[in-house]
Amino acid sequence: MKRTILALTLSLGVLHSARPEPSNEEVEARKRALELAGAFSNEGFKIRDGNWCGSLKSGTGKVIQVNLYAGNQYWFSAAATDGAKKLEVTVYDEVGAPQTSEPYQEGTTAAAGFSPVASGAYYVKVQELEGEAASFCLLCSYK
Amino acid sequence: MFLLHRTLASGLALLCLTAFAAAEPAALTKEEIAGATRTDDFSIPTPGEFMSALDKTGKLAWKGLYRTAIRTDFTSRPQIALNLGTLIADGYIAIQAKEAQSVRNVGKDIMTLAKPLSVKDKIIERGKSLAEFAEKGQWDEVNEDLEAMQNEAKSTLSENNDADLVVLVTVGGWARGTEAISGYVAEHYTAESAKLLRQPGIVGYLSEKLDALPEKMRDDTSVKRTRSRLNELKTAVSFGRDVTPTVDDVKKIKAIATELIKDIAKKETK
């Protein structure tokens, strides 16, 4: 598991696509998200090599589409930098209806455990409920 | 972990049932859905994740999903990228089969195709550790290394101003994964495994990315054929959430995916 986290942390700076280089705040947020996701690795969850980082303001959220397979279990783990006080991760189906997920929330970290009953597209929203502007990073683990 | 959290969540739910009910999140707006981010490395699952889901439907004979080695002497860079993706999917099949020799063989072919794309130097160490972990039977580590190798190859393409090739690697991997899995499901049909083939979000994203390629790349014969087949596949894998594909539906997906893989691996004659 330590090897996974080290490898993923080192890979942050070189992740593909034409994205801009991650800021120091995003690197910090990813490190925190990896620590959270690492707990799920102990239960056999594999952390996807990709990540989604950005910035949030209090009371706002950002949404990303993910494609999931029925039968797999997923954890979406998010962390933010210190400006944020409370985060929330919510999973929605392909038409935007909120899905029942297992919530986790502690300070600047939050996660949602989700087992899709149908394969296909879903949406994950990371929302800052309290705090100031902050950077965040979201990771996906599956088993 | 799920149990632990379920226990905690249950306790909290008892204490705060009313609050939870009141706090149920609202549905996403049309604007939120339309504006949702989609990225290659987060929105699109790896072939390994697809195979992991299939693996849960029973004990699979993964070796039966191998294909004969493909040629590696392509000259068109887009075609090389497409075939690199298919080889990465072959690597995931070899991992599921837990066969070190096949992992080494696929790794060697990946290196051969990586060279003309100028990404070999960046992934060569990963290729060595992949083979070493396979030799030791450390399959979780092999899986991690293959995923990292795929992403390092893509990141190097981007750094080398070849970002347009990234989607072709992804398309190749997804197509080969879909071919292998639909083939298995067609032969060992269950409703549960057939429903795994529903992937409208993935094929929609990939089709849009291919449509947005520069004209010169879209004119490449292998890319033209891929776009055409992908449109056929898009229809075939975009069935409703509550629909269970029949055996014939699955065979159709397999047939289209097989033709796509043949097109990708076909040597152009000028």
Q: What is the ipTM of this complex?
A: 0.86
Question: Is the Cβ pair A118, B198 closer than 8 Å?
Answer: yes
pLDDT tens digits, B12-31: 444 444 444 446 789 999 99
Question: Is the Cβ pair B198, A67 closer than 8 Å?
Answer: no
Least Cα separation, residue B10 to chain A (angstroms): 10
A50 to chain B, any CB pair closer than 8 A? The answer is: yes
Q: B266: Cβ–Cβ under 8 A, 6 or more apart, which residues?
A: B222, B225
Strand partners, A110: A78, A105
- pLDDT exceeds cutoff 60 at B11: no
Least Cα separation, residue B74 to chain A (angstroms): 24
- pLDDT exceeds cutoff 80 at B5: no
Question: Is the Cβ pair A113, B49 closer than 8 Å?
Answer: no
Question: Residue A23's pLDDT is what?
Answer: 85
pTM: 0.86
pLDDT tens digits, B161-219: 999 999 999 999 999 999 999 999 999 999 999 999 999 999 999 999 999 999 999 99
Indicate the DSSP class of residue B37: B
Question: Residue B95's pLDDT is what?
Answer: 94
pLDDT bucket at A19, cuts 50 / 70 / 90: low
Contacting residues of A for B140, CB less than 8 Å apart: 46
Question: Is the Cβ pair A17, B196 closer than 8 Å?
Answer: no
d(CA A131, CA B178): 44
Q: What is the DSSP string of B137-167?
A: T-HHHHHHHHHHHHHHHHHHHHHTT-HHHHH
Average pLDDT, chain B: 89
Residue of higher predicted confidence among B217 and B268: B217
- Identify whether the C-beta of residue A138 lies closer than 8 Å to the C-beta of residue A51: yes
For chain A, give every domain's residue range: 23-142
Question: Is the Cβ pair B147, A48 closer than 8 Å?
Answer: yes
Question: Which residue in A65, A114, A130, A142 has the most chain B C-beta atoms within 10 A of its own C-beta, making it the best mutation to test that interface?
Answer: A65
pLDDT bucket at B125, cuts 50 / 70 / 90: confident
CA distances from residue A45 to A12, A75, B146, B258 in whole angstroms, order as listed: 20, 8, 16, 31
Indicate the DSSP class of residue B134: H
- pLDDT exceeds cutoff 80 at B86: yes
Start-to-end Cα distance in chain A: 14
Considering the segment(s) A23-142 as one domain, its CATH architecture is: Sandwich (2.60)
- pLDDT exceeds cutoff 90 at B1: no
Contacting residues of B for A19, CB less than 8 Å apart: 39
Contacting residues of B for A42, CB less than 8 Å apart: 1
A62 to chain B, any CB pair closer than 8 A? The answer is: yes
Question: Residue B58's pLDDT is what?
Answer: 81
